[in-house]
Amino acid sequence: MAVVSYQKSKVVLQDNESVLQGLERLGEKIPSSCRSGACQCCLMRAVAGAVPAKSQEGLKETLKSQHYFLACQCVPTEDLAVTLPADDAVPVYPAQVISKKQLNEEITSIRLSCPAGFRCRPGQYIQVMQDSHIRSYSVASLPIEDGFLELHVRKIPGGSMSTWFHETCQPGMQCSFRGPFGSCFYVPDADRQFPILLVGTGSGLAPLEGIARDALQQEHEGPVVLIHGSLRESGLYHGNELTALQSANKAFSYRTSVVESGETESADIRQFAKSELTRLGAAGARIFLCGAPDLVNDLKVRLFLAGAASSHIHCDPFIINAAST
Amino acid sequence: MSTLYERLGGADAVNAAVDIFYRKMLADDRVNYFFDNTDMDRQIAKQKSFLTMVFGGPNNYTGKDMREGHKHLIKRGLNDTHVDIVIEHLGSTLKELGVPDEDIS
Ligand SMILES: Cc1cc2nc3c(=O)[nH]c(=O)nc-3n(C[C@H](O)[C@H](O)[C@H](O)COP(=O)(O)OP(=O)(O)OC[C@H]3O[C@@H](n4cnc5c(N)ncnc54)[C@H](O)[C@@H]3O)c2cc1C
Ligand code: HEM
Ligand code: FES
């Protein structure tokens, strides 16, 4: 059985136990959130021993080569010595809350100052650090053009970070974050003609809005279709902004899918996304799916079966988990 | 002689082949229930490195031993009929990509 050393402690891992679980069993406080490899909050570094490839899936190459890994995904076959991330490889940035605005009943928009030296692509996510918690939030704005980082935070009953954003956080307050992470963003090709389909529900709109605006900013020429879904009309937000974006850009269409509306064409977001994909031409399309994990996973398979190339489907499932830290 | 991997057209062709093949598998009710709990991206990545190896291309196939990888499926009733279906879909995939019959066998 592999032995994991961390600071002054050592733990012998049990069968199929991850580094995260083993260290928590010892009483160590290791940041984590999704526990499924999606949020990268449990990032650690191996200073001795080799980590399995699975625990590095989705990490940037620079982090991989420095032996960074995700503790929740790491069931090692050999002994490891591990540390929390170092500031030089994963810098922590200070930011100021510029403004806060309720977008609908559940979702609030938070604008943070963009710290000097920080670069990210719209659609990537940052990890906000507050008390001992770390949580991932997607960047909805164009940091350079807009001059700020905008996050759309959905309130999770009993959730530590989302409650902090909704109830405690006020303009003028300081917070810190690290990042960027993730590969859900616009990458232009030699030609900018390919269709783009973006689908999400709830605060899944955050990265999608960023990606769509980024593509248009970079003068993407192919059609860009964004579908925002919700159970009720009141769950949608940024309708005015997106309608204005549609009026200003021939290439861009903003569509909504509201279950309650009963619209035959659009109420079922799964069917609607599939028919839009077919209309756009599945084979060459780039697809972005963000938000509720069940929907993201269902759409991923469905749109793949409808002809989309697996390498052109980019997903950010917002996996929330019973959190311990 | 060139490898089948080169004749197929290298990495891009293998990527296309795996997509077509995996799409056929997931659309086939005789076998798709085996994949209910399988992560699509991970499985596609494994299939790519596996097929690259089968076709004689450069690979770093590190998958589990085949028997090991399918043990839990055999418990769920995986048998030779399913293997025949896999071979049928792989064959028709390669045909669609224009691979000559003698290479397929
Ligand atoms: C890549 C990525 C990007 C993300 N981007 C965003 C974003 O842009 N905007 C955003 O709002 N969130 C986003 N999230 C989710 C976010 O990171 C947090 O997980 C979320 O805000 C909850 O954190 P918390 O500290 O409030 O809750 P925690 O303290 O972590 O507690 C979560 C609690 O909620 C419960 N729970 C689990 N699922 C649900 C559910 N569906 N509804 C209600 N309760 C549930 C759990 O059991 C647990 O008790 C993203 C997640 C990932 C992985
Ligand atoms: C024709 C022979 C076959 C070959 C060459 C083959 C190849 C492979 C390979 C290389 C893996 C990855 C193993 C790993 O590293 O985890 C795998 C996994 C898998 N195979 Fe096959 N396979 C074959 C037959 C089948 C059949 C008949 C089925 C069922 C219809 C099947 C279903 C699966 C599933 C579901 C997994 C993933 C298991 C998991 O989720 O862990 N395979 N296969
Ligand atoms: S990636 Fe490990 S906790 Fe989210």
Q: Is the pLDDT of residue A175 over 70?
A: yes
A73-79: average pLDDT: 97
pLDDT of residue B5: 86
Give the number of whichever ligand sits closest to the CA of residue A53. 2
Express each pLDDT in A239-254 by its tens digit: 999 999 999 999 999 9
d(CA A135, CA A42): 10
Express each pLDDT in A180-190 by its tens digit: 999 999 998 88
Express each pLDDT in B1-28 by its tens digit: 678 888 888 888 889 999 999 999 999 9
As a CATH number, domain A3-87 is 3.10.20.30
Query: ipTM score here?
Result: 0.88
B72-87: average pLDDT: 93
> Is A304 within 8 Å of B15 when comparing Cβ atoms?
no
d(CA A46, CA A35): 19
CA of A154 relative to ligand 1 center, distance in Å: 8
pLDDT of residue A323: 57
Choose, out of B12, B20, B23, the residue to mutate when testing the contact with A (most A CBs < 10 Å).
Answer: B23
Main-chain dihedrals φ then ψ at residue A121, nearest 5 degrees:
-100, 140
Tell me, using a 6 A CB cutoff, whether residue B77 lines ligand 2.
no
Domain ranges across chain A: 3-87, 92-181, 196-315
Tell me, using a 6 A CB cutoff, whether residue A59 lines ligand 3.
no
Q: Which domains does chain B have, with CATH numbers?
A: 4-104 (1.10.490.10)
The two beta strands, A125-130 and A133-138, are antiparallel
pLDDT of residue A308: 97
What's the Cα-to-Cα distance from B83 to each of A47, A165, B11, B71, B77, rounded to whole Å?
44, 53, 25, 14, 12
Which class would CATH give A196-315? alpha beta
pTM of the prediction? 0.93
CA of B100 relative to ligand 2 center, distance in Å: 25
Average pLDDT over all residues of chain B? 87
Q: Hey, which CATH number is domain A92-181, 3.40.50.300, 2.60.40.10, 2.40.30.10, 3.40.50.2000?
A: 2.40.30.10
